[in-house]
Amino acid sequence: MKNIFISRLVKYFRSPIFYLALIVSLVSGIYNGVYVGYFKAEMDQMIYCTMDDMWFLLAIWADVVCVSLCLGREFHDGTIRSKLIAGYTKAQVYLAEAAASSVVTVCIFAVNIIPTMIGLGYFLKLIPLSMTLKIVLTLFLTIELMNMFTLFVCFAITVRSFGLAASFALVFVFYMVYAFTNGYYYNTAPQEEIVTFQEILDDGTVRETEAPAVNSYYVDGAAKTLVNIEHYINPISSLGDVTSYSYIPDKESCDETDLADARLSEFNMNIDPVRLIVWLVLISFIGISVFRRRNIR
Amino acid sequence: MDYVLKTNELCKHYRHFKALDGLTMSVPKGAIYGFVGRNGAGKTTLIRLICGMQDPTSGEFEIYGVKNSDKAISLSRRRMGAVVETPSVYLDMTAEDNLKQQYRVLGLPAFDGIKELLELVGLENTGKKKAGSFSLGMKQRLGIAIALCGEPDLLVLDEPINGLDPQGIIEIRELILKLNREKRITVLISSHILDELSRLATHYGFIDRGRIVKEMSAEELENACRKCVRMNVTNVKALAKTLDAKGIEYKILDASNADVYARLNFTELAIELHNEGCDVLTMEEHDESLESFFISLVGGGKA
């Protein structure tokens, strides 16, 4: 398995798509760190500063595009056959693919997260909290995410029916959209929020007034319970948690330490390493089982 | 006789469709085994099973005496190289890089022998040209070179000359013969282009509807493909009457042509026919082709 893993990594590192994904990820990381950090500092919204702004999503999409294109190419060119003929089992091929795509994912995320951390740290004067733990957890989550993605890709491209493959791809897209939406709802503001209204007076001047308004995204009751459960088991949502709370303001730079502590406890509850490992093993097991049953063309 | 590959009642079903239906065959060591069958007869399915890309529904096969259910089958597969349908090459890499990639997959410690392999398949001058811009023949040869990494004893080629131009066909044929004669590699080659196969194969396996209909050596096939004399005459009834009287086997083709299956004194026959009012217009020796032999084996009907 080591040999296939190395050969796959070499293939990734020689692929222009990989470097394109790195550039996209790096640029979005720099933007996130410098531009967003600067403006959030200006707006005094330190506590809500997260790395899962839309620019962080670019890194995920760059990663997904890179891995799916490279994996898809592996199947399209038929090079997976030479590995099976060389005496490797389907399980070994699958695990090697999942491991290689996880390493690629870590690389792509790293070039996004590092400039973001530097930027946010510089502009918002935030201090890293338990950074080692967070990096380890982020690694787990990205590997977990890529395992899940490898499973989806492997299944989708080994199905014979184009219609089935297309439906599967569609389900995956919906899943991604749902996962991100879920993250949004989970982290949504309270039921009521302060909204700024603009009013044009008779003399042509604009008057701004602030008033409480109902938050249309607020989820309550049974729906909230479902969202919580899904958020707890979904690696994408969990990834959002890690990135959202990678920095907590220190006491000197932020007065709202109570709120920071509250979010920190939430973060720790969601990112349970045991759960992550169990989830990773489960995804890998499903992936191997599905892949082994497929006929390779 | 030593066999490198044996199958026993091998079956592969896709829901209700039986791609292989109790296939039993043996590939002798050192042979070029021509695996002959129509499209959809089950040739590629068998090759996929051997290569580990699919699992049989029932039955078993052995590669170098190791059964498919045995864990050591992986080691046996290491002694095998294969090109299944289309060559397994990275289209965005050069020929040399493709071979290096296969060396990595096999875990070979150094890239020794890559130059020799490229020379063997005639791709030594491709330089930095990407495999994606290769001709079909070049891709096929690169696929064979990749299959030859790790110096296999058995080479499995699935329809290697499909889509090739005449020059490409000749190149692949010469390469296969060279590998068999110089490197003593056993070759299992599937094809439905029988004429081409007859220039290569030392053994044949005829497959139809997932079953081996007949296995034979090239010598046996040569004997089976009977020679005849095709006669063009003015009166085919008179010819039939004369041949019947002599007890000679023949086949009437149309109103003026017939195939005669015997060694004859044709001067004597021509005189007798002339006396019956029949003139011989032309005569030519005619071999029954591999195609017609195959059709006679599988019945000629659609699967």
Q: What is the reported pLDDT for A272?
A: 55
Do residues B67 and B73 make contact, with C-beta atoms less than 8 angstroms apart?
A: yes
Best of A2, A73, A77, A289 to disrupt the B interface (most B CBs within 10 Å) is: A77
CB contact under 8 A, A81 and B146: no
- Rounded distance between C-alpha atoms, residue B15 and residue B130, angstroms: 40
CB contact under 8 A, B105 and A85: no
CA B258 to chain A, closest CA, distance in angstroms equals 48
Residue B118: HSE in the Cβ half-sphere, 13 Å Cα cutoff:
17
Q: What is the mean pLDDT of residues B3-29?
A: 88
Q: What is the reported pLDDT for A266?
A: 42
Angle at B217 between CA B55 and CA B166, to 5 degrees: 80
pLDDT digits (tens, 9 = 90+) for B213-239: 888 888 887 767 767 888 899 999 999
Q: What is the mean pLDDT of residues B8-25?
A: 87
Give every CB contact of residue A286 below 8 A, 6+ residues apart in sequence. A151
Residue B151: HSE in the Cβ half-sphere, 13 Å Cα cutoff:
8
Do residues B249 and B280 make contact, with C-beta atoms less than 8 angstroms apart?
A: no
Do residues A39 and A123 make contact, with C-beta atoms less than 8 angstroms apart?
A: no
Residue B125: which region, alpha, beta or left (left: phi > 0; alpha: psi -120 to 50)? alpha
Q: What is the reported pLDDT for A130?
A: 45
Residue with more model confidence, B257 or B165: B257
Do residues B283 and B229 make contact, with C-beta atoms less than 8 angstroms apart?
A: yes
Chain B residues whose CB is inside 8 A of the A69 CB are none
Q: What is the reported pLDDT for A260?
A: 45
**Does the pLDDT of residue B63 top 80, yes or no?**
yes
Nearest residue on chain B to A90, alpha-carbon basis = B53
Residue for token pair 């296999």: B152
Q: What is the reported pLDDT for B110?
A: 80
CB contact under 8 A, A86 and B106: yes
**Does the pLDDT of residue B301 top 80, yes or no?**
no
Domain boundaries, given as residue ranges, for chain B: 3-219, 226-287
The DSSP bridge partners found for residue B214 are B206
Mind listing the pLDDT tens digit of every residue in chain A (297 residues)?
Answer: 788 888 888 888 888 888 988 998 888 878 777 776 676 555 544 434 444 455 566 777 777 777 777 777 777 777 878 888 888 888 888 788 878 888 888 888 788 777 777 776 666 555 444 455 555 656 666 666 666 666 666 665 555 555 665 666 666 666 666 666 655 555 555 556 666 767 777 787 777 777 776 655 565 656 666 666 666 666 566 655 555 544 444 444 445 444 444 344 344 434 455 665 666 676 667 667 766 666 555
Nearest to A3 among B82, B93, B105 (CB): B105
User: Which residue pairs from B234-242 have beta carbons closer than 8 angstroms and sit at least 24 positions apart in sequence?
Assistant: B234/B278, B234/B279, B234/B281, B235/B273, B235/B276, B235/B277, B235/B278, B235/B279, B238/B273, B238/B276, B238/B277, B238/B278, B239/B273, B239/B278, B241/B276, B242/B269, B242/B272, B242/B273, B242/B276, B242/B278
Computed over every residue of chain B, the mean pLDDT equals 85
Residue for token pair 């996880």: A102
Chain B residues whose CB is inside 8 A of the A87 CB are 52, 73-78
Best of A4, A5, A81 to disrupt the B interface (most B CBs within 10 Å) is: A81
Give every CB contact of residue B143 below 8 A, 6+ residues apart in sequence. B83, B86, B87, B88, B89
Question: Is the domain covering B3-219 a CATH 3.40.50.300 domain?
Answer: yes
The answer to whether A81 faces chain B, any CB pair under 8 Å, is: yes
Domain boundaries, given as residue ranges, for chain A: 2-293
Per-position b or e across A215-235, b if 16+ CB within 10 A of its CB = eeeebeeeeeeebeebbeebb
Q: Which of the listed CATH numbers 3.30.70.100, 3.30.450.40, 3.30.830.10, 3.20.20.150 matches domain B226-287?
A: 3.30.70.100
**DSSP states along A92-140:** HHHHHHHHHHHHHHHHHHHHHHHHHHHHHHHHH--EESSHHHHHHHHHH
Residue with more model confidence, A165 or B212: B212
Residue with more model confidence, B151 or B290: B151
| Strand-strand pairing, B154-158 and B80-83 | parallel
Q: What is the reported pLDDT for A150?
A: 64
ipTM, two decimals, is 0.71
pLDDT digits (tens, 9 = 90+) for B150-181: 888 888 988 888 777 788 788 888 888 888 88
Nearest to B88 among A3, A6, A81 (CB): A81
Do residues B207 and B43 make contact, with C-beta atoms less than 8 angstroms apart?
A: yes
Which residues in B have their CB inside 8 Å of a CB on A? 48, 51-54, 73-78, 80-82, 84-93, 97, 101-102, 104-107, 146-147, 150
Do residues B91 and A77 make contact, with C-beta atoms less than 8 angstroms apart?
A: yes
Cα separation values, B213 from A25, A50, B32, B194, B209, Å:
60, 70, 18, 16, 9
Nearest residue on chain A to B73, alpha-carbon basis = A87
Closest CA to B50 of B88, B16, B90, B79: B79
CB contact under 8 A, B88 and A82: yes
Q: What is the reported pLDDT for A275?
A: 60
**Does the pLDDT of residue B199 top 80, yes or no?**
yes
Q: What is the reported pLDDT for A199?
A: 75
Q: What is the reported pLDDT for B220?
A: 80
Closest CA to B138 of B162, B171, B111: B171
Nearest to A85 among B80, B97, B107 (CB): B80
CB contact under 8 A, A78 and B85: yes
Residue with more model confidence, B82 or A44: B82
What letter would DSSP give residue A48? G
Nearest residue on chain A to B68, alpha-carbon basis = A87
Hey, what are A51's tokens?
């790395």
- Rounded distance between C-alpha atoms, residue B50 and residue B10, angstroms: 11
Nearest to A85 among B77, B91, B93 (CB): B77
Cα separation values, A81 from A8, B50, B230, Å:
14, 12, 49
Nearest residue on chain A to B97, alpha-carbon basis = A11
